[in-house]
Amino acid sequence: MALAYLLGKGASKVLRTKINIPLLLVLSILPDIDLVFEVLFRFPIHRGPTHSIVMALMVFIPFFIYYRKKSVPYFLGFISHFLIGDFIVGGQLMLLWPLSFSQFGLHELGFLFIDIYSPVNVALELSLFLIGLVVLIVSRDWRVFFGGDLSNFVLIIPLTTVLLPSTIGYPFTNSLFLVEPLLALAHIFYLVLFSFAVVVALCSFFRKKNKRCSTNM
């Protein structure tokens, strides 16, 4: 999410467009929705169709046509998940699915295999997290999560499908606090921030609804 935020933020500056940060963050973890399907259907499809650049282009073509340059930051945020993050860490990506079932990644290119627990990965993720946090604060983008905008409801997706499950255990064998406590702290930050943003948006929704009801009466 930090990587997607930094890329999306940079692209929006260059293209002079505005971005919806909650939506950008959701798109950044959306490829891992295949983990939910693995749990539900007991079928190993992780890093398959949802991690394909071919599928990503097909999905985004209508948005490129309609929204033009406004869709670029979101596209970068989405593909950064697998073209950068998963490509470096873990590999085994079906980047050309359904045209090819070949697997791609840094390891597949002959480099050392880097897994989630590797010190290299932990250092990379924490560095990106801290850089993203600094940019979030300096740019005052943090205010987005406290404004009560209804678009913050989309943050329920990363809360329930990725952040909460991975902190508790899945896809790890144990809680992230036990296997990699440093990364768990970053997860907790996102969990608290997103949960607060959803609650504030919910309060704002009911406040507006009650106001409309009072006006009609």
pLDDT tens, position by position, 110-131: 999 999 889 999 999 999 999 9
Residues 6+ apart with CB under 8 A from 23: 74, 151, 154
Q: Please report which confidence band the pLDDT of residue 174 belongs to, taking 50, 70 and 90 as the band edges.
A: confident
pLDDT tens, residue by residue, 129-151: 999 999 999 999 999 999 999 99
Segment 70-94 shows an average pLDDT of: 97
Joined together, the tokens standing for residue 210 give: 């009650």
Closest among 6, 159, 183, 164 to 80, alpha carbons compared: 6
Strand partners, 93: 104
- Determine whether 29 is exposed, middle or buried from the number of CB atoms within 10 Å of its CB (0-12, 13-18, 19+): buried
Q: Please report which confidence band the pLDDT of residue 107 belongs to, taking 50, 70 and 90 as the band edges.
A: very high
What is d(CA 143, CA 48) in angstroms, rounded to the nearest whole number?
36
What is d(CA 49, CA 123) in angstroms, rounded to the nearest whole number?
28
Residue 173 pLDDT greater than 80, yes or no: no
Segment 175-184 shows an average pLDDT of: 83
From residue 3, alpha-carbon distances to 30, 70, 76, 206 in Å are: 14, 18, 10, 34
Task: Report whether 12 contacts 6 (CB < 8 A).
Answer: no
Q: Please report which confidence band the pLDDT of residue 42 belongs to, taking 50, 70 and 90 as the band edges.
A: confident
Average pLDDT, the chain: 90
User: Rounded to two decimals, what is the model's pTM?
Assistant: 0.91
Task: Report whether 168 contacts 191 (CB < 8 A).
Answer: no
Residue 76 pLDDT greater than 70, yes or no: yes
Residue 183 pLDDT greater than 70, yes or no: yes
Domain span holding position 150: 2-216
Q: Please report which confidence band the pLDDT of residue 215 belongs to, taking 50, 70 and 90 as the band edges.
A: low
**How confident is the model at residue 170, as a pLDDT?**
67
Segment 182-206 shows an average pLDDT of: 91
Percent of the chain with pLDDT over 70: 95
Q: Please report which confidence band the pLDDT of residue 187 belongs to, taking 50, 70 and 90 as the band edges.
A: confident
Q: Please report which confidence band the pLDDT of residue 31 belongs to, taking 50, 70 and 90 as the band edges.
A: very high
Residue with tokens 């079932």: 101
Segment 23-40 shows an average pLDDT of: 87
Q: Domain total for the chain? A: 1
**How confident is the model at residue 178, as a pLDDT?**
81
Helix (H, G, I), strand (E, B) or coil at 115: coil
